Amino acid sequence: MRRRLPQLLLLATAVLAVGALGACGNKQDEVTHAETEGAYLDLGGLKYQVQISRQLNAADSEDKGYLIGVSPQDRRLPKDQTWYAIFIRVQNTGDDPKQAAEEFEIRDTQGNVLRPLELAPVNVFAYRPAHVPGKGLIPELDSPPAENTIQGSLLLFKVPYANLQNRPLEFEISNPANPSQKASVALDV
């Protein structure tokens, strides 16, 4: 019986150690980079999710609505460029309001950087940086972008076709409280 006591003690210690390690696994790590759209990125106390990204066709009836509010100087699209939309959702899972990102970029493998166009207030789908209330969302519930099948707010870019070949394209979000902190996702081009 004396020999069984050390074995039982060893077994009990092992079970406790596995339980303690298992409890550590319940913590979620912050995710600041994703290899595909749809993942939640943690930045500045908010969760960002690229719902979808895609080229837009100005002749398509749905896509025309996304191009409302483009300034006259930006309206002209050179033949070597395409409209590119990123639909993003921002979630505040905490109780306190948090400022959503204001700075976004698309970077290609050649070091080219593209920034979104500023859209006039008449574009109801456009992303607007704002304070996201506790447990709140961008786009706000019951708004046109939230009720749309995509359920994300629009960031609109002019992208040269040549840049689409320099994949992967990385979409980068800067933390407004600390611009050196960034989150990124590889776009599904």
- CATH number, domain of 40, equals 2.60.40.1240
Query: Rounded to an integer, what distance in angstroms lies between the CA atom of residue 40 and that of residue 185?
Result: 9
Is the CB of residue 52 less than 8 Å from the CB of residue 36? no
Of the listed ranges 20-29, 79-88, 154-163, the least confidently predicted one is 20-29
Of the listed ranges 21-30, 79-88, 130-139, 156-165, the least confidently predicted one is 21-30
Token digits of residue 131:
């304070």
Domain total of the chain:
1
**What pLDDT score was predicted for residue 6?**
55
Query: Rounded to an integer, what distance in angstroms lies between the CA atom of residue 88 and that of residue 126?
Result: 10
Q: What is the pTM of this model?
A: 0.85
Token digits of residue 75:
């309206």
Token digits of residue 108:
């290609």
* 99 inside domain: yes
Closest CA to 171 of 78, 19, 71, 39: 39
Domain enclosing residue 40, as ranges: 29-186
**Model confidence at 20: pLDDT above 50:** no
* 128 inside domain: yes
